[in-house]
Amino acid sequence: MSGFKMARLEIRQDEPKPLTPRQTRLNEQAREIAQQFTAASISQTLLVGAVRLIDAALVLASAAIAYAVTLGPLSGLSWAYPLAAGLGVLLLLIFAQAADAYHVVAFRSVGGQLGRILGAWTLVFAGFGALGAFLDFGGAIDRRWLGYWFVFGAAVLLVAHVWLAVLVKRWAVQGRLGRKAVIVGGGEPAAELIRALEATPGNDVHICGVFDDRSNDRSPAIVAGYPKLGNIAELVEFGRLAHIDLLIVTIPVTARGRVTEILKTLWVLPVDIRLSAHTDKLRFRPRSYSYLGSIPMVELAEKPIANWDYVAKRTFDLVVGSLCILLTAPLMIATAVAIKLDSPGPVFFRQKRYGFNNEVIEIFKFRSLRHEMADPEAKTVVTRNDSRVTRVGRFIRRTSIDELPQLFNVIKGELALVGPRPHAVNAHTSDTLWNDVVDGYFARHRVKPGVTGWAQINGWRGEVDTPEKLKKRVDHDLYYIENWSILFDLTILLKTPISLAKTDNAY
């Protein structure tokens, strides 16, 4: 597939750096609007899940406090109290869900959500009362504990949900609560879609603008009150700057060629892409549609590793990454000492590389080149028997020990343990930038880059001196993105030490 194309430029030390796709020229209006939306969106799925977890934790904490107040230290806890506390959590979540308390619309109203959550909490104890009226538990639970638990639980839930309402209102004003969307394709179909979205109750889609390749005489400059901000190529840059979550294509599905060309440009963005079907004469099977409110959509692409998958992967990175730092700390200390004894200069080397969503990040490595010959802009590729590489550097490059400091980039959240390897901003082969060598190159940045990856354990590491080698790397990276799972990450991590023993392409 064809991604965003750059002009082919030679890279020489006496010439300025070429423009990258992150520097694509947007018109002033589009850039101003993009800057208004730079804050990342808050996933409503994650927000609702987090509120449920916090409510459960508060209920358990209030139960523990009530026990300490009425009966003393928790060390004397009998089995009946944890059982009752767990049942209380379960009943609260069930009753609150039935009362629509776990919905973003409810979160925005202090009175509405307090009535729902406190009503659900009261029903929990009504249930306990009913059970106590019909069943004799032999005094297994002190009724004073139940009374204190009800009061403490109601107090902490009240405070937490008032605070939640304040936060949600603030996020709504900032435009962070909900999905930031761009309409692709203008004219009357786009206007109809916008009006339908705005009329949908509880709509969480915030439209940032319209992009269309057609001129103003065929596609108006203003569509249902929203400006046309540029063409499809400019949308790639706008999407990155504004951290767009959703692209809605309003071009008829019958215009297959045009839709395909648009997708070839936009698929490099880490967003959901939907084809609006509300005006199409063609009708698919009901299972083919997803819906924004009542508006039918055809899913063209999904954001990879989103919502709870993202939480799972980030948790995996933090836990396993911290463990890896502890286990490799002696090796990293020994490497640092060896570098200092071998050649003058700093221990670490920093380099600008492409990260998630094509953002430029600074990664850490152990220095492997002579300090006076350092190449932070990757203008000259390291080759076999390169005179710039130190004695220690040659060893740590072949064994990838030089990459170990990137574990700290993982903890910072700039890298993942597993993902496409981050390439230098000016990485090139035969004076051609890598994004010119392989179509769709920037699609590998739809997820966070990793310390190791599927391409590396399959032998595609080290020097990239031919277009075929780069294509193999990108193919493996895209396979990883499409097939990601925690088990896949774990498999790659376990195979990494074995793959490092093969040093044919690393020097």
Helix axes 80-98, 110-134, angle to 10 degrees: 130
CA–CA separation, 40 and 180 (whole Å)? 9
* Backbone region of residue 39 per phi and psi (left: phi > 0; alpha: psi in -120 to 50; beta: other values): beta
User: Are residues 479 and 341 both part of a single domain?
Assistant: yes
Domain boundary among 272, 301, 330: 301
Q: Give the count of beta carbons closer than 10 Å to the beta carbon of residue 8.
A: 12
Q: Are residues 89 and 119 in the same domain?
A: yes
Tell me if 382 sits within 8 A of 397, measured CB to CB. yes
Domain boundary among 271, 301, 331: 301
| SS3 letters across 176-199 | CECEEEEEECCHHHHHHHHHHHHC
Residue 10 lies in a domain: no
Instruction: Please tell me the predicted confidence (pLDDT) of residue 261.
Output: 80
Indicate the range of 155-159, 169-173, 425-429 predicted with least confidence.
425-429
In a domain, 2, yes or no: no
**Helix, strand or coil for residue 294?**
coil
pLDDT at 119: 93
- Number of domains composing the chain: 3
Phi, psi of 394 (to 5 degrees): -65, -40
| Same structural domain, 155 and 225 | no
Together in a domain, 283 and 373: no
Cα 102 to chain center, whole Å? 23
Q: Is 442 within 8 Å of 4 (Cβ atoms)?
A: yes
400 conformational bin, left if phi > 0, alpha if psi -120 to 50, beta if neither: left
Decide if 4 is inside a domain: no
Final residue of a domain: which of 266, 301, 336? Answer: 301
Count CA atoms within 13 Å of residue 177 on its CB side: 20
Rg (CA), the chain: 28
Name the burial class of residue 53, with classes exposed (0-12), middle (13-18) and buried (19+) by CB atoms within 10 angstroms of its CB: exposed
Note the pTM of the prediction, 2 decimals. 0.77
When pLDDT is averaged across residues 43-64 and rounded to a whole number, the result is 92
Same domain, 318 and 294: no
274, 246 Cβ separation under 8 angstroms: yes
- What domain range is 152 assigned to? 44-173
**Residue 233's domain is classified under what CATH number?**
3.40.50.720
Domain identity same for 391 and 410:
yes
Q: Is residue 505 one of the residues assigned to a domain? A: no
CA distance 191 to 189: 5
Same-domain status, 413 and 464: yes
Residues 412 and 323 in one domain: yes
Hey, how many other C-beta atoms are within 10 angstroms of the C-beta on 387? 8
Mean pLDDT over residues 26-41, rounded? 81
- The CA distance from 35 to 54, in Å, is 33
| Amino acid letter, residue 202 | G
Q: Furthest-apart CA pair in the chain: how many Å?
A: 88
Give the pair of three-digit tokens for residue 458: 């399959």
Residues 337-369 have pLDDT tens digits of: 999 898 888 888 888 888 888 888 899 889 888
CB of 168 closer than 8 Å to CB of 104 = yes
**pLDDT over 80 (residue 212):** yes
Question: To 5 degrees, how large is the angle CA 431–CA 435–CA 438?
Answer: 100
| pLDDT the model gives residue 16 | 36
313-323 confidence digits (pLDDT tens): 999 999 999 99
Average pLDDT over residues 466-489: 88
What is the enclosing helix (H) or strand (E) of 479? helix 467-482
Same domain, 95 and 219: no
**Pair (319, 332) in one structural domain:** yes
Identify whether 506 is part of a domain. Answer: no
Do 463 and 354 lie in a common domain?
Answer: yes
Map tokens 């640092």 to a residue.
336
What are the tokens at 308? 């709870």
Torsions phi, psi of 223, nearest 5? Answer: -120, 110
* Nearest Cα to Cα of residue 125 among 142, 141, 147: 147
More confident residue, 426 or 206: 206
In a domain, 3, yes or no: no
Output the pLDDT for position 103.
84
Q: Are strands 295-301 and 289-292 parallel, antiparallel or unpaired?
A: antiparallel
pLDDT of residue 2: 33
Residues 295 and 334 in one domain: no
Token pair belonging to 331: 């090796």
- Section 448-462 average pLDDT: 85
Within-domain flag for 488: yes
Element (H, E) at 363: strand 360-366
Q: Is residue 1 in a domain?
A: no
The answer to whether the CB of 413 falls within 8 A of the CB of 378 is no
Q: Is the pLDDT of residue 81 over 90?
A: no
β-pair partners for 290: 297
pLDDT at 17: 39
Angle at 441 between CA 440 and CA 446, to 5 degrees: 90
Average pLDDT of the chain to the nearest whole number: 81
